[in-house]
Chain A
Amino acid sequence: MTRKRRRLYFVLLGLLGLGAGTALVLTAFQDNIVFFFSPTDIAAKPVCAQRCTIGGLVAAGSLMKEGQNVSFDVTDTVETVSVKYVGIIPDLFREGQGVVVEGRMNSGVFMASNVLAKHDENYMPPEVADALKKSGRWKEGEPLPAATKSN
């Protein structure tokens, strides 16, 4: 085996080992890497005893605003968590839209200290969005129908 060949195998083996090691570490720390938990996670295990972050959609018809006092429900269509927040909410925050909330659980209600809007991967001009909504082919917060994507 030439030295070059040996170095080639050494580099390939090193990368393989490193990749496998990283994969194991990332799997082991799965719960620490996720940025937020879904309402289902919270119902399943007590992950939110301390401060934590939850994410989901703002449930339709749940938003109540009184000055800076805001309350709404975060849902992943299976479980729902009610959230209370005092402060300014971001522009993209709407019912049916993705949201990420930092705070803590307090007797069944999530007391938020920070509200972040989650933007989805759909980009289009307002006219296209209006036309899609009007024709009933798409609602906000849903993935785009395939026909509009492929052209």
Chain B
Amino acid sequence: MHRFANPTQFMRIANAIYPWAAGLCVLLFAAAIPIALVFSPPDYQQGDTVRIMYVHVSSAWLMMMIYGIIAANSAMFLIWRHPMANLMAKASAPMGAIFCALALITGMLWGKPMWGAFWVWDARLTSTLILFFLYLGYIALSDAFEDSERGDKAAAILALVGSVNIPIIHFSVEWWNTLHQPSIIKDGNMSVDPALRLPLFLMMGAFTMFYFAVLILRLRSELLAAKIRNARLSQVADASAPQPAE
């Protein structure tokens, strides 16, 4: 695994994955959007409002997965000081924050017509809001120091501390009474009819591929930016070096 700490090695694999992730993302969205919005049947209780669920659950899935990736990479960065792990975590954070915001917003839009309230302070909603603040805190903290290395370490520690929230979000609907409905997967069974399951899975796949494709693009541009910075620095160093006397 430590082999992939080398940016060149890592990007060789990432660049090979990129066209597959991007292609699958386009294909899955092309299938998921019309099926989710038009061709799948409405729900027996919610009617067409159920279609919000396809975006909501996909966003929530990504906000959890991305946080897991950030926490794992932060641990690798703190323990083995792999700069690539730090780059992965930093490149993922804004996307995680956006998907977390999407999950919160789509949930509110669904909650008003179904529950009768945009927001309630139940355990699932509150812990998800905390996750959103963790994302914002991570992004802010990693940029808060003059010395970027210190900022990265502080942010990585915050990411690890915040990882206790992930099981809390997942199990909140089982551990406590919540207004939010329990998980749709229980004991390996799914309480979603196959006709509604298809658009859900397609959409989750499309979202996931989108994340991987954009992550690789972000890593590429981060590495290029680092190269440019280094080139500039060595230019400045050359220019300011004392000229040999003639």
Contact = CB atoms under 8 A, between A and B. Distances in A.
17 contacts: A7-B79, A11-B79, A30-B176, A35-B176, A38-B177, A114-B117, A116-B115, A117-B116, A118-B179, A121-B182, A121-B184, A121-B191, A122-B192, A123-B184, A126-B43, A144-B191, A149-B189
A26 interface: yes
Contacts of B164: 15, 18-19, 22
Interface in A1-58: 4, 7-8, 11, 14-15, 18-19, 22, 26, 30, 33-38, 55
B181 interface: yes
A66 interface: no
Interface string B151-184: 0000000001101100010000001111101111
B193 interface: yes
A11 B182 contact: no
B114 A123 contact: no
Given A114-B116, A118-B179, A128-B195, 4 more contacts: A8-B79, A120-B182, A125-B44, A129-B44
A78 interface: no
Interface in A82-123: 89-93, 100, 114-123
A124 B43 contact: yes
B41 A35 contact: no
Interface residues of B, number: 44
Contacts of A93: 116
